Amino acid sequence: KAGVTQTPRYLIKTRGQQVTLSCSPISGHRSVSWYQQTPGQGLQFLFEYFSETQRNKGNFPGRFSGRQFSNSRSEMNVSTLELGDSALYLCASKEGPQETQYFGPGTRLLVL
């Protein structure tokens, strides 16, 4: 099976802009989670979607949002970008309630 794919892999934006990142889970996986990874804060959970519904949400401001489509693909959006949003954004998928999740390669976002 193909792994989790994320697009784009790299992105440069300026403060105040918005950005949309995309994630395609492993075929058959219905749960998609998003994480932000920075050197200072490590891996932080953003949100999880399952069957097009947000199941869990981490402690991030409302500028961070996401959605999941009927084919389980997911997007996350960050509006009004700040310098501190520069990070590696990781998507992970799993089949369902079980906890074994698999990560994609990430999208590296740089905000100037």
Partner 1 sequence: GENVEQHPSTLSVQEGDSAVIKCTYSDSASNYFPWYKQELGKGPQLIIDIRSNVGEKKDQRIAVTLNKTAKHFSLHITETQPEDSAVYFCAASSPIMDTGRRALTFGSGTRLQVQP
- Three-class secondary structure of residue 97 per DSSP: coil
Q: Does 112 bind partner 1 (CB under 8 A)?
A: no
- Shortest distance (Å) from residue 67 CB to partner 1: 19
Q: Does 45 bind partner 1 (CB under 8 A)?
A: yes
- Three-class secondary structure of residue 84 per DSSP: helix
Contact pick of 73, 75, 79, 102 for partner 1 (by CB under 8 A): 102
- Shortest distance (Å) from residue 88 CB to partner 1: 8
Segment lying near partner 1 (by CB under 8 A), choices 11-19, 48-56, 60-68, 69-77: 48-56
Q: Give the strand pairing for 19-24 and 5-7.
A: antiparallel
65/95 Cα distance (integer angstroms): 22
C-alpha distances out from residue 59 to 2, 11, 17, 84, Å: 31, 24, 22, 15
Interacting residues toward partner 1 by CB under 8 A: 4, 6, 42-43, 45, 48, 55-56, 90, 99-106
